[in-house]
Chain A
Amino acid sequence: MRTVIFRTAAPYLTSLMILFSVFVLLRGHNEPGGGFIGGLIAASAIAIYGIACGVAPVRRALYFHPMAISGFGLLLSALSGILSVFFGVPFLTGLWTTPHILGVELALSTVMVFDIGVYLVVVGSFTSIGLALEEREHG
C-alpha cells in the first residue's frame, strides 16, 4: 500500500479531511453533520496517514496519546453539562450565548462544547485502535 503516489498524496488528503471534519462538526447543529460523523472522518483521515507513512509519524504529529484525547473529550462533555449547576438548571441543559465579535454574531453554547467532546472521544478511541493494530502489523 505504500506506493509513492499514496505517500505523497496522503498528507494533503489527511489535512483536507481533518479540516472537513471540523467543518462537519461545527455545522452539525443546523445542517447534516455533528461530532460523531466529524470524529469518524477525522479518524479515517488519521488512519490514511498511518497506513501511508507509518505509525511513528502519526504519533509524533498527534503529540498526545489518542486515548488521552478520548479521555479529554469525555471530560469536556461532562463538564459542559456540569456548567448548568451555576445557572440552577438540570444537568446537561443547553446554555447559549451570542456575543458579537468583530461585528459578527457568534452562537456559542454548551451544546457545542458537548459535541466537540463527542468528536474528541470518537477520534481518540478509533485512532488508538487503528494505530495499535497497524503498529503490530509493522512492528
Chain B
Amino acid sequence: MADASQSLTLLSLFLPFLAAAVAPFLTRLFRHNAAWILAVAPAFIFVHFSGYLQAVAGGNAVSGGYAWIPALDANFSWYLDGLSLTFALLISGIGTLIVLYSGGYLKDHPHQGRFFSFILMFMGAMQGLVVSDSFLMLFVFWELTSITSFLLIGFDHAREASRRAALQALVVTGGGGLALLAGLVLIWHVTGISELSQLLASQDLLRASPFYMGALLLVLGGAFTKSAQFPFHFWLPNAMEAPTPVSAYLHSATMVKAGVYLLMRLNPVMGGTAAWETILPIFGGTTLIVGTLLAVRKTDLKQMLAYTTVASLGLLVMLTGLGSDKAVEAAVLYLVAHSLFKGALFMVAGTVDHETGTRDITELGGLRRAMPITFAAALLSALSMGGVTPFFGFLAKEEIYAALGFAGGWNSIFTIVALVGNGLMFAIGFAVALIPFLGGRVETPKHAHEGPVLLWLGPVVLSVTALVAALASNASHHYISTPMASAVAGSEIHVHIGVVPHLGLPFALSVVTMALGVGAFLFLARGRAAMVWLLDAIGWGPDRGFDQAMRGLLRISSHVTRIVQCGRMEVYMTVTFVILALAIFVPMTVYGEWPAVPELPVLPFYEWTVLAIAVIGLAAVVYAQDRLTAIVSLGIQGSAVALLFMLLGAPDLSFTQFMVETLSVVILALAMTRLRLTPSDHRPTGEMLLDASIAGACGLGLALLLLRITQMPFDSTLSDFFDEYAYVIAHGRNIVNVIIVDFRGLDTLGEIAVVMVAGLAILALIRVRAPKPAATHAKQPAPKKELVEG
C-alpha cells in the first residue's frame, strides 16, 4: 500500500511534464477541446493529494522518495505536511481550472499547443518545488519555475514589451534563485543537513549558528525577488504582458507565492529572531503600501490586480515575519483566500478582455446583462477580497486584525499599514468587479456577450469554493488551515474562526477597513490623478532602474571585451608568451628552484648527430628568408626530436611525434598559403628584437624547467603500478595504449570529444567567407595542441 502510494506520488510529480509532452499533439487533433483531456492530469494530481488530507490532518507528515545519487547523498524525496499539501492542492486544483480556461482563452490561437505545454511544465515545476524535501530538488524546481515563467511571459514573443518583461522576470527571479542557492549551500554547510524535513527537526541549530545572518539574507534574496517584494516588485506588473491564464495562475495564485512558501517553510527554524521579526514585517509592510498605492494609479484591469497581488504578497510576508500564532493563522488563511479570489478575478478580467476587446476600466461599463455569470463570479470574489462575511476572505481579515490589533507597541504601526492597505485593496477589488459591469452600456471594440463555459467555469468554481470553504469553516480548518498553520509555526495551532462576526477589536478594525475602502472607491478617479501626478514628480522607479542597470552592464562588458579582445593577433601572441615566460620564471625565482648545471652526457656519435640535426633545423627556422622554408625547417627539428625518442626507447611517443610533425607541416603550409601574408617577414628591428627576446625567454625557461624536473628524484609509483597491472587487469602489454584506452579511458573520451569539437570549430572558421583575413588566424595553433594532448 505504502509502495503504491509512493509510486503514485512519483507519477504525480512527473505527470505534468508528460502531459506537456503530448499537449501539442492533442491540440493538433482536438484543437481547443484538448483542454478537457489535458485537465485530467492536474485533476488526477489533485485527487491523489486529497487522499493525504486525512493523514496530514491527523498531524502526520507524509514523506517518501528514492535515492538519486547515493554517493553524493542526493535524494529525490518529498515531504508533505500541512503547508506543502495545501500548496500542492492549490496548484493542482487551480491548475485544472487554468488549463480549461486556457482552452477557451486561447481558442484558435496558432500556438495553443505550445501554450498548454508551457503551462503544464510550469505546473510540474511548481508542484515539485512545494513538495521537495531535498535542497537540491527544491533549487532545481525553483529555477525551473523561473524558466517556465520566462517562456510564458514571453509567449507573445513578437511584441517587444513581452520580450522585455520576460527577460526582466528571468533576470530578477533567476538572480534571486542564485542567492537562494548560496543560502541553501550555506545552510547545508553549517548544519550538515540537506533535507528540509531534517532541518525542521533540527530546532535551534541554524538560529544559533554564527552564519545565521548570512544564510537569512541569502534566503530572503531568493524569496523577496520571487514574491515581488519592494524594491524587486517591478517585474510582476510587467509580467502582465503574458496571456491572462498565466497571470491568473503564475502571477497571483502560485509562483509568486513560492517566496512566501519558502519563508513559511523556514519559519520554524529561522524565524523568531530579532532580524527575522524586523526585516520581514518592514519589507512586507512597505510592499503592501507601495503596491496598493501603485494599484490606484492604473486603469488596466490586469495591472490593477497585479499591483494588489504585490500588496497581498507584502501582507503575507509581513504576517509571516510577525510570527505570533495569530499572525501565522492569519497568513495561512489569507494565502488560501487570496489564491481563490485573485485567481478568479484575473480570469474575470481576462474574460472581459476576451469578450469586449479592452480591459481599460475607463472604457468599460454596463456589462452585467451581457455577461451575468462572469459578473456573479466577479462579485463573489470581490466580496471575498474585501473581507465580507460569509466568505473566506472574511476569516482571513478577522485573523489579521486579531493578530495585529492586540499586539500593541510598535506593532500598531503595522496595524495602520494593514488598515490602509486592506482599505485600498477593498476599493480596487470592487473597482475591478463593479465598474465594468455596472452603469450605462459603453461601446467596446467587440460586441460583448457571455463567454463559453471554458471561460466562466474557472472563476465560478473558485469564487464558490471561497464561499463554501468559509461556510464549512470547521471542515476547512480541520483539513487545511490547522495543519498548515501548525506546519508554519512549527508547533500545534488550532484555527477556530467562523463566519459569524463577534463584536470586538478585530471586527471594529474590519468595519474601519470597509469604511476606508468605500471612501477610496468613491474617490478612486481623484486618487488616480493624484498618484499619476506624484509618480510623474518622482520620475524614477526601480523599473527604469532595471533598464539603467542592464544598459550599464552591457556598456561595461563591451568595454571589457574591447580591452581583452582587441582583435590583433600580435597582441594575443605577445601577451600569451609573456605570461608563459612569467609563469615559468617567477616561481623558479621565488622558490629558488634553479636547476644545477648538468654534466655533459656521454653519448654515442649517432645521438650527437641527431642532436646536431635538431639544432640545424632550429637555426634554419631563425634564418629562413621566407615562411615556407621556416615551416619545413621546423619540421626537420621536430623529426630529429622524434628520432631521439626512438633511440631512447619510446617508440609510441616517437611514432606520434613523427605523424604530428608531418601533419602540422602540411596543415601549416596549407594555412599559410591561405593567409594573404608577404612571403617573408618585414618587422622593424625594434619589434623583431622584442619578439626574439620573448621567444628566447620562453625557450630558455622551458629548458630550465625540464632540466630541474629531470633532476628531481623519480617517483616510480605510477610506472610500477602500470607496469605490474597493465597485463593482469587490462590484458595489454603496451602500457601507453592501455593507459589511453583503459585506465584513463574517460580522459581519452573527453580528449577525442575536444578533438572533434576543435575540428568542427576550425572547419567553421575556414568556411567563413570573412571580409577580413584576420578571421582565419585562430586556426593555426589549434591542431598541434590537440595532438600533443592525446
Contact = CB atoms under 8 A, between A and B. Distances in A.
Given A32-B734, A37-B652, A67-B763, A133 B749 contact: no
A29 B733 contact: yes
A136 B662 CA distance: 20
Interface string B460-495: 000000000000000000000000000000000000
B656 A71 contact: no
B202 to A, nearest CB: 35
A74 interface: yes
A70 B753 CA distance: 9
B731 A96 contact: yes
Contacts of B662: 44
A47 B752 CA distance: 20
Nearest to A94: B742
B442 interface: no
A125 B759 contact: yes
Contacts of A36: 656, 740, 790
10 contacts: A29-B733, A29-B738, A34-B652, A34-B740, A41-B659, A44-B662, A91-B746, A118-B740, A125-B759, A129-B779
A129 B741 CA distance: 25
Interface stretch (A3-11, A56-64, A109-117): A109-117
Contacts of A109: 731
A84 B552 CA distance: 52
A101 interface: no
A31 B763 CA distance: 34
B787 interface: yes
Interface in A9-39: 24, 28-37
Contacts of B760: 67
- Of listed B655, B660, B745, residue having the most chain A CB within 10 A: B745
B736 A133 contact: no
B759 A124 contact: yes
A114 B749 CA distance: 9
B524 interface: no
Given A32-B734, A41-B659, 12 more contacts: A24-B655, A29-B731, A30-B734, A44-B666, A70-B756, A71-B756, A114-B748, A126-B667, A128-B763, A129-B763, A130-B667, A130-B670
Nearest to B668: A133
Contacts of A118: 740-741, 748, 752
B783 interface: yes
Interface string B706-742: 0000000000000000000000001111101110111
B251 to A, nearest CB: 43
A99 to B, nearest CB: 15
B778 interface: no
A35 B732 CA distance: 14
Best-surrounded residue of B652, B733, B767 (most CB of chain A within 10 A) = B652
A35 B763 contact: no
Contacts of B752: 73-74, 77, 117-118, 121-122
Interface in B740-790: 740-742, 745-746, 748-749, 752-753, 755-756, 758-760, 762-763, 766-767, 779, 783, 787, 790
Nearest to B753: A74
A137 B732 contact: no
B749 A111 contact: no
Contacts of A137: 670, 673-674
A109 B746 CA distance: 16
Interface in A43-71: 43-44, 47, 51, 67, 70-71
Given A28-B737, A31-B734, A126-B663, A40 B656 contact: yes
B755 A129 contact: no
Given A40-B663, A77-B749, A134-B670, A29 B758 contact: no
Nearest to B749: A77
Contacts of A132: 762-763, 766-767
Contacts of A128: 759, 763
Interface of A: 24, 28-37, 40-41, 43-44, 47, 51, 67, 70-71, 73-74, 77-78, 81, 91-92, 94, 96, 107, 109, 111, 114-115, 117-118, 121-122, 124-126, 128-130, 132-134, 136-137
A24 B656 CA distance: 12
Given A37-B652, A118-B748, A47 B663 contact: yes
A126 B759 contact: yes
Interface of B: 651-652, 655-656, 659-660, 662-663, 666-667, 670-671, 673-674, 730-734, 736-738, 740-742, 745-746, 748-749, 752-753, 755-756, 758-760, 762-763, 766-767, 779, 783, 787, 790
Given A32-B651, A121-B756, A81 B740 contact: no
Given A40-B660, A129-B667, A129-B783, A114 B745 contact: yes
A30 B660 CA distance: 22
Contacts of A130: 663, 666-667, 670
A33 B759 contact: no
A55 B787 CA distance: 23
A33 B734 contact: yes
Contacts of B736: 32, 34
Contacts of A77: 748-749, 752
A40 B731 contact: no
B448 to A, nearest CB: 59
B741 A114 contact: yes
A17 B662 CA distance: 14
A35 B731 CA distance: 17
A130 B659 CA distance: 14
A90 to B, nearest CB: 10
Nearest to B733: A30
A130 to B, nearest CB: 6
Contacts of A47: 663, 666
Which 5 pairs of residues, A with B, have the shortest CB-CB distance?
A: A125-B759, A40-B659, A32-B651, A133-B670, A29-B732
A125 B783 CA distance: 9
A128 B651 CA distance: 28
Contact of B655 (A32, A67, A94, A129): A32
Contacts of A91: 746
Given A34-B740, A92-B749, A137-B670, A125 B756 contact: yes
A30 B732 contact: yes
A132 B576 CA distance: 28
Contacts of A115: 737, 741
B674 A81 contact: no
B787 A40 contact: yes
B759 A32 contact: no
Nearest to A71: B756
A35 B741 contact: yes
